[in-house]
Amino acid sequence: MKGMSIIVKKVTQLVSGLMFLYGIYIITHGHLTPGGGFAGGAILAGSFILLVLAFGSDLLKLKKREEGSSVVESLAIFAFLILGVMALFIGTHVFFKNYLPAGTVGNLISAGVIPLYNIFVGIEVGAALFTIFLALAIFKEEVLE
């Protein structure tokens, strides 16, 4: 897949980093403001998709497999499961219990395990959407010929 013109490439260089930062902001403030893991993960995937669409898969030297993003996704969902299972061994034996202290409402570090859940769900959703995009939109050209 070829890239686009020089104007699109320059604007993409300026914008995609900001989009990435905005996604991280949405994820980490998920328990204080609207947003959370799902929305922030989709924004992270959007910044990567913008990079790939503007520069093309040739220039970025992407390999022909989606192994990288798929492995990241699997690791994130594994960490999510481990966080949930750890509640079985700490305190009351309830699956997916909020076992860290809640803190005061409104601080950035509060709400127990919820920010950690948000971070892992964000990584998982972003990697999954990027894998779907790579598998469906980029790597199918080689077979169509």
Partner 1 sequence: MTLYILCFTLFLVGIYGILTQRNMIKIIIGLSFMEFSVFLFLALIGYIEGGAAPILSKNFESGNFVDPLPQAMVLTAIVIALAANSMLLSMAVKLYRKYGTFDIRKISQLKG
Partner 2 sequence: MEIILSGILIFMILGAIYAIHARDLLSALISCGIVGYGLVICFLLLKAPDLAIVQIVVETITLIIMVSVVLVSTRFELDKEPGFKHKSRLNHQLLGHILIAVFIGIVLLYSFRLAIMHLDSFGDHTLRMSEAYLEGAAEKTGSANLVTGVLFDFRGYDTFGEATILFTAVVGILTILRIKGRK
CA distance 95 to 87: 6
Q: Which stretches of the chain bind partner 1, using CB under 8 A?
A: 33-34, 36, 38, 105-106, 125, 128-129, 132, 135-136, 140, 143-144
Residue 98 contacts which entry, partner 1, partner 2, none (Cβ below 5-8 A, type-dependent):
partner 2
- Beta-carbon contacts of 11 under 8 Å, excluding residues fewer than 6 positions away, are none
Biggest CA-to-CA distance, the chain: 60
Q: Is the dihedral of CA 137, 138, 142, 145 positive or negative?
A: positive
| CA–centroid distance for 100 within its chain | 24
Residue 141 contacts which entry, partner 1, partner 2, none (Cβ below 5-8 A, type-dependent):
partner 2
Q: Which stretches of the chain bind partner 2, using CB under 8 A?
A: 26, 30-36, 38-39, 42-43, 45-46, 49, 53, 66, 70, 73-74, 77, 80-81, 84, 95-96, 98, 102-106, 110-114, 117-118, 121, 124-125, 128-129, 131-133, 135-137, 139-141, 144
CB of 58 to partner 2, least distance (A): 16
Per DSSP (E only), the strands in 16-131 are none
* Pick 102 or 132: Cβ nearer partner 1: 132
Please give the helix or strand (H or E) that residue 63 lies within, else none.
none
CB of 89 to partner 1, least distance (A): 27
